[in-house]
Amino acid sequence: MLSKLISHEAKRMGRLLLPVFGALLILSGVTRCMEAACLAWQGKTPLWLSIPTVFLLIGALLCAMVLPASSFLLSALHFYRMTGEEGYLLFSVPATIPQQIWAKLLSALVWAIAALGILVGCVWALVLQPFDMMDQVRGNMAPDWTGTWLGFYLFLLAVLVVLALAGSFLYVYLCCAVGMQFGANRLLATLVVYFGLPVVLQIVALFAVLLAGVALAAAGVFETLVTMPPTIVYAAFLGILTIVTLLWDVVCYAVTNHLLAKRLNLT
């Protein structure tokens, strides 16, 4: 049943996102061809070619940056509707609450990762590769960062990005599940939780970081970190950040699952 739910949700999002993806790819291709024409002039590009190329480049990059946000908003809208008018139909199918959540989350993750991939591809094809910036980036990297550690860093970053994306979706699901408890005022409640809870969490996190910093300074941890290789420090930082992000995902998922399973309110 989970596979059917994922397929349904992915196709539902794809009907809106695929045309946007296709249009962006066409726009990027046209922009790349015009960039190649400009570079062929070797610094003597006429204005009638350079000005449209600049506008096309800016437009393509802006559209590419909007793609991940569009997949996020679309998934949030679908989950919000599930806690309201569409819930009567979706919760009547023979599927558990976790399956409903996972179907929404996995399909949203697939489309968000695809959008991020297109964004990275557009930046590389339209900015980095035409102007030979990749060689400059590699040349500015210290030798310690380009050795065997590079693969480990990329792996941790990939895991962290996926967990952060999942956390952003799960947080919206949590807000929708909390807003559902307020019936006719669920939209207002959802927005209040979405914008209000981060303020509270930031205050709590600030005090936690300050207390942790004082404790670590008293224990002499910072003096030890100064003597350690930067590669080790960076890897440890990424590892801790990954664990914290995973814990946040688990909390959001657990609370959302509890509210949908025990306090379902579709009125």
List, for residues 148-172, the tens digit of each pLDDT value. Answer: 666 777 788 889 989 999 999 999 9
Task: Sort 105 into a burial class: Cβ within 10 Å, 0-12 / 13-18 / 19+.
Answer: buried
- Segment 88-92 shows an average pLDDT of 72
- pLDDT greater than 80 at residue 205: yes
Other beta carbons within 10 Å of 146: 10
Q: Which residue has the higher pLDDT, 125 or 20?
A: 20
Q: What is the pLDDT of residues 249-267, one digit of tens each?
A: 999 999 999 988 888 776 6
Q: Burial of 79 by CB count in 10 Å (0-12 exposed, 13-18 middle, 19+ buried)?
A: buried
Backbone φ and ψ for 171, nearest 5 degrees, come out as -65, -40
| Per-residue confidence (pLDDT) for residue 216, from 0 to 100 | 73
Predicted confidence (pLDDT) at residue 224 exceeds the cutoff of 80: no
* pLDDT of the residue at 250: 94
Contact 103, 9 (CB under 8 A): yes
What is d(CA 210, CA 113) in angstroms, rounded to the nearest whole number? 34
- Compute the distance between CA of residue 34 and CA of residue 132 in angstroms, rounded to an integer: 17
- Residue 249's pLDDT is what? 93
Q: Is the pLDDT of residue 138 over 60?
A: no
Q: Quick check: 133 pLDDT over 60? A: no
Query: Do the beta carbons of residue 238 and residue 154 sit within 8 Å?
Result: no
What band does 145 get if pLDDT is binned at 50, 70 and 90? low
